[in-house]
Amino acid sequence: MPELVVTALLAPSRLTLKLLRALMWSLVFSTALVTAAVYGCIALTHVLCRPRRGCCGHSRSVVPTCLSDPSLGEHDFLTLKSSGLRLHYVSAGRGNGPLMLFLHGFPENWFSWRYQLREFQSRFHVVAVDLRGYWPSDAPRKVDCYTTDLLMTDIQDVIQGLGYSKCVLVGHDWGGLLAWNFSIYYPALVERLVVSSAPPMSVYQDYSLRHISQFFRSHYVFLFQLPWLPEKLLSMSDFQILKTTLSHRKTGIPHLTPNELEAFLYGFTQPGGLVGPLNYYRNLFRNFPLEPQELSTRTLLLWGEKDTYLEPGLVGATSSRFVPGRLEAHILPGVGHWVPQSNPEEMHQYMWTFLQDLLD
């Protein structure tokens, strides 16, 4: 068929897609402005209630002691083959079994896997990495440095750079989104997948379009599409919004000590420390709309029934995309968003059972 005819036949579809994307971006930025106004009021209230803290965040100069706890493993850096970036990671149990690689969410870092590092180092080589953009890993500032393709290549380079051809990949929140994508991009490198509090991106997209309640739960995503303003709002009153997110009595991480809270905040308080993490969100809509994908990697999915940010209905929506018999999903009653930290013993029991045949 002549190229001119093909172009003419495809023109209506291309025009429709362009119009759909234009509509999507107008909606995203309109919602972002409204959300920014709400968060601006919240940040200003924090400043007025705590005037001694001032309007800006204060950079920490002393690293919290819990970040150097020797029971969690050894600290090291890995230079990635593809990008040349240096990523920080904590490693324990080398030589004890297969590689178990942990990917954290936001606003977190490698320390969010402290319970799992202790639990699984006896039978696995456990590695918790600080993703690109998160202190002390390298943090390019451009939004284009945080596309899905680049982040997938990072994970591939970490696995191979550590000397392995496959791994048990474990992710929470943003780390879970990356883990889902990686199992689709590089299925041969993922022996098993364990995900907590994160759906595949295509499932999240379709579910949110049909459930307005999930749209409202994800309101902060729209704020983070804006340049520089989110960084400013999150840092006001010495990072009070982040403090509340992590330590709120009902929705935060239970029993988080002041030292542990500072372990999460430390990297974000460094100059430019929020730019990289928020650039992940600024790439969320880059490939909209996403095509539905059939999932086949053997996966354990753990979900908190009381998750503040993600509805339990996403579990059923994820199950509908799976090859039968490949997904084991559990909704934990009364549990919130921070499953690896709030309910580590329950998570560990499910993981040991799910992974037992790898160790026999």
pLDDT one-digit tens code per residue, 119-178: 999 999 999 999 999 999 999 999 999 999 999 999 999 999 999 999 999 999 999 999
* Residue tagged active-site, from 281, 307, 309, 350: 281
- The larger pLDDT score, comparing residue 244 to residue 7, is at 244
| pLDDT score of 254 more than 80 | yes
Selecting among 46, 88, 172, 337, the annotated active-site residue is 337
- Mean pLDDT, residues 245-271: 97
Q: Which of 130, 138, 154, 173 is catalytic?
A: 173
Question: At residue 342, does pLDDT exceed 90?
Answer: yes
Beta bridge partners of 126: 92, 100
- 357 classed as catalytic: no
Q: Which residues contact 291 (CB under 8 A, 6 or more apart)?
A: 202
When pLDDT is averaged across residues 321-339 and rounded to a whole number, the result is: 96
Q: Is 281 a catalytic residue?
A: yes
Residue 287: which of 204, 231, 163, 192 has the closest Cα? 204
Cα Rg for the chain, rounded, in angstroms? 21
Q: Is the pLDDT of residue 7 over 70?
A: no
- pLDDT for the residue numbered 25: 72
> Which tokens is 262 given?
């500072």
| Position 21 pLDDT exceeds 90 | no
Pairing of strands 86-92, 125-129: antiparallel
The pair of structure tokens assigned to 163 is: 């000397």
Question: In this predicted model, what pLDDT tens digit does every residue of 302-311 receive, in sequence order?
Answer: 999 999 999 9
For the whole model, what pTM was predicted?
Answer: 0.94
**Rama region for 172: left / alpha / beta (φ>0; ψ in -120 to 50; rest):** beta
> How sure is the predictor about 270, in pLDDT bands with cuts at 50, 70 and 90?
very high
Tracing tokens 């039968």 back to the chain, one arrives at 324
Answer yes or no: 337 catalytic. yes
Task: Let me know: does 168 contact 355? Beta carbons within 8 Å.
Answer: yes
**Span 53-58, mean pLDDT?**
85
Does residue 1 have a pLDDT over 60? Answer: no
User: Environment class of residue 65 by beta-carbon count within 10 Å: exposed (0-12), middle (13-18) or buried (19+)?
Assistant: exposed
